[in-house]
A and B are shown apart, each in its own frame.
Chain A
Amino acid sequence: MFFIRNLFHAVFIIFAVSTITFILLYVSSDPVVMLLPPDAPREEVIALRESMGLNDPLVIQYARFLGKLVKGDLGYSFFYKESALKLLVERTPATLELACFGMIFALVIAIPLGILSAVKYRSGFDNLSLGFATIGQAVPIFWLALMLMLIFSVFLGWLPTSGRGNWKNIVLPALSLGAYPMAAIVRLLRANMLTVLRMDYITVARAKGIREFWVVTKHALKNASIPVVTLVGLQFGSMLAGTIVVEMIFGWPGIGRLAIFAIYHRDFPLVQASVIYMATVFIIINLIVDFIYGLLDPRVKVGRMAL
């Protein structure tokens, strides 16, 4: 029941998002002027607009768009002359790869750092780790990306500046993308661990003689990680839909870059498809997070069923 309700919400959100995007796009500009040479004669602009059906009333164009949408047809890119959905699907592996590696990097650094900061509360290590996390959250991605490129590509010559190919290509984009979620996870995990470590059941576990390592990793971490799962889920959604800056800087052939191109050139079908795609990704990730939440904390499931 819970999933059916969420599914209904998801369809409604996608419909609302696509309608708003459609209206905003069509009132804001004209793709024909971006397709033609900058100084193209006005007659040519009119002729091409007519042949593309852009002279039809907005309602008719919208009905046409909806008609195609229900059949799963997200339209045909004006610039690429290909199916918009196909273009998005082609770029999905690149974005998925980047988001996964970015998140793996974030988690590998953030989880030990968050736990150790809480365990060594107010120590030099804790201060250092908090400072590290604050910088990670404060530094803009574009700046970090360019600095990493300058150090590791230009000065040291270890890693390539751009592109997608072998494992070396993913290192700098993943580090840049993972920095912000890493910092956010460190702070949240540390705060939650501090709360949990002071709870009675932890004292009981320690009194029972369980080794401190297991107290922290098995008993405390499980409860402290519930809000972290939500954060990771949301951050991962943002990464899948919003790797734009990293993709632009490192020339990474992903969805964010395609969306920027589409918006910049007023490639209406491609913008629509990108928005619908990104909204869908966010919704699916939220559903998965809800599901995992239920697994980690059975009270959540019970609470929902009681509603």
Chain B
Amino acid sequence: MKTTTKICILTLVACIGLTLFLGKSEAQQKPKDVLFVAQEDDVTTFDPSMSTHVPNVTFYNVIYDCLTIFDNVEFTKLNPALATSWNLINPTTWQFKLRKGVTFHDGEPFNANTVKFNVEWLKTPGKHTVAGNFQTIDHAEVVDDYTINIITKGPDSLLPKRLGAYGAQMTPPEYIKKVGRQTLNSKPIGTGPYIMKEWVKDDHVTLERNEKYWGEKGVFKEVIVKALPDNLTRLNAVLTGEVDLASMMLPDQAAIVGSGNIARIESVLAAAQANYGFSCSKGPLKNKLVRQACNYAVDKDAILKKLWKGYGKVSTGSAITYDFGYDPGLKPYPYDPAKARELIKQAGYKPGEISFDLYANAPGKELTEIVCAYLNDVGINAQPKVLEAATRARWQSDAYLWQGGVLFYPSSTLYDLDGSLWRTHGPKGAGANRWEEMNKPGMPFHDMMEKARYSLNQEERRKIYIEANKIFRDEAPVLFLFQYKILYGVNNRINYRPRPDERMYYNLITFR
């Protein structure tokens, strides 16, 4: 027998032996009543006031509860959670009636004192990372065990929404007093549908169903959330059926997932959009006509179709489709290179005279190269540059550090223009010094947005927002791109409806 034949036979025998030895695949060995989830990073802290990173917040939503919760179907609708009802008893006082009979995982009762403790903590800046959401709160007053008044510094029609948004999860005061807030980082106690059972750092977190949960209990006895930072590994874990649900799938991967019979892609328009924030206080971008020219120069539809595989919707302005104040009649900037050239000429520039850099994080590199090519085509000398995450984050809150445009993904935290446009571009917002000329007192845009913030008349607010968004679109302090979709890889054994705010409520996932 020849050596090659021997090697072939040996390899074959080894393969058969290995198959028999290894037995069932990982997916086949999966227990039926355990949900396996893969997300892009591990949790770093279980204290909901200490982080707003999505991989952390995922856990906060199932371990803890807020007073209110955004609906899982009609995303912008606010439902009761730990509060059963709420109403405005005077312009600056919201009264919340609380759910009775709710206990934390360790048996500590939930009542008005719990809410007071949490509100006092959340409104204090410098202690945690979520104070920005609660700056309108002045103090809280306990009326009785299950009634609490929250007094705001001025009228705040959005307070019930704030108490369902990031950082607003109710933590147990007695437990914290006993073991210290520090302990909450690794040993969380909440009132939520799942209890943290085990945390193997950078590997997985095991959650156990809370059998005493006041609301809808999960069908899965356990949820194992794996931290898989690599996109392709998450994709492979979905393809093999090792995980039932994987976050952050890429548009390129959708066809691969959909081609098999193990899993599928579920997507939803995000409560966020991608755009290039301009430094409007210096250089050629100080001129509104140049900014408008940039918006006319880029074919967003083509980019969305080719690069994002159609997973998204071209932005019409600063408001996303879910926002209170979104104007469905407003049209996006059309792709019109001739108009862009004309505007540049009107602004007093010759072709090639305008130069600036467009910056993006590494995943946005390809997009930025394409956008720059479009801008170059109309005579704007834009160069793509890649920024690492920390520098980009620093630039996001300080436009004095850069000139040109930076790719940002501003989100709408409250499904309201106050939580998107005014949160970012208001005088105290992260993007305040990107566009100083319009967001200072006395300017129509500033005064309109401030009026809407403190108005309790919803119809008036809606009208103001529609007008303000038109001004924003016309002034074009950003290069509008699109409201992208969030993609999840979902195993065919489960039903999963993704949410625009990227929250995952494991108790609402069912068998298919």
Contact = CB atoms under 8 A, between A and B. Distances in A.
Contact of B428 (A43, A50, A150, A254): A43
Nearest to B236: A161
Contact of A157 (B26, B44, B185, B389): B26
16 contacts: A29-B391, A38-B408, A38-B411, A39-B410, A41-B135, A42-B397, A80-B45, A82-B186, A87-B201, A159-B22, A162-B38, A162-B228, A164-B203, A248-B230, A258-B202, A264-B388
Nearest to A30: B394
Given A28-B390, A162-B237, A253-B200, A39 B430 contact: yes
A58 interface: no
B242 to A, nearest CB: 6
A166 to B, nearest CB: 10
Chain B: interface secondary structure? loop
Nearest to A125: B3
A85 B132 CA distance: 31
Interface in A54-112: 77, 79-82, 87, 90-91, 94
Nearest to B186: A82
Given A29-B390, A45-B397, 15 more contacts: A29-B394, A34-B389, A40-B129, A41-B428, A44-B131, A79-B51, A80-B44, A81-B45, A82-B185, A150-B236, A154-B240, A161-B233, A251-B202, A251-B226, A264-B390
A187 interface: no
A41 B126 contact: no
Given A40-B132, A48-B126, A266 B429 contact: no
Contacts of B11: none
A249 B227 CA distance: 11
B125 interface: yes
Interface residues of A, number: 57
B475 to A, nearest CB: 19
Contact of A161 (B22, B129, B240, B408): B240
Interface of A: 28-31, 33-45, 47-48, 50-51, 77, 79-82, 87, 90-91, 94, 146, 149-150, 153-154, 156-164, 168, 248-251, 253-254, 257-258, 261, 264-266
Interface in B410-430: 410-411, 413, 423-424, 428-430
B428 A251 contact: no
Given A39-B430, A153-B240, A248-B230, A91 B126 contact: no
A36 B242 CA distance: 33
A261 B51 CA distance: 15
Interface residues of B, number: 66
Interface string B228-261: 1110110011011010000000000000000000
B326 interface: no
B27 interface: yes
Contacts of B510: none
Contacts of A261: 41
Contacts of B213: none
A159 B233 CA distance: 13
Interface of B: 18-19, 22, 25-28, 38, 41-42, 44-45, 47, 50-52, 125-127, 129-132, 135, 166, 182, 185-186, 200-204, 226-230, 232-233, 236-237, 239-240, 242, 388-391, 393-394, 396-398, 408-411, 413, 423-424, 428-432
A94 B204 CA distance: 14
Given A43-B428, A157-B240, A258-B202, A33 B390 contact: yes
Contact of B232 (A34, A146, A163): A146
A303 B229 CA distance: 49
B364 to A, nearest CB: 14
A79 B233 contact: no
Given A30-B394, A33-B390, A42-B428, A253 B410 contact: no
B419 to A, nearest CB: 10
A253 B45 CA distance: 16
Nearest to A158: B22
B51 A35 contact: yes
Contacts of A94: 202-203
B233 A40 contact: no
Contact of B132 (A37, A50, A80): A37
B43 to A, nearest CB: 9
A161 B126 contact: no
Nearest to A149: B236
A159 B397 CA distance: 45
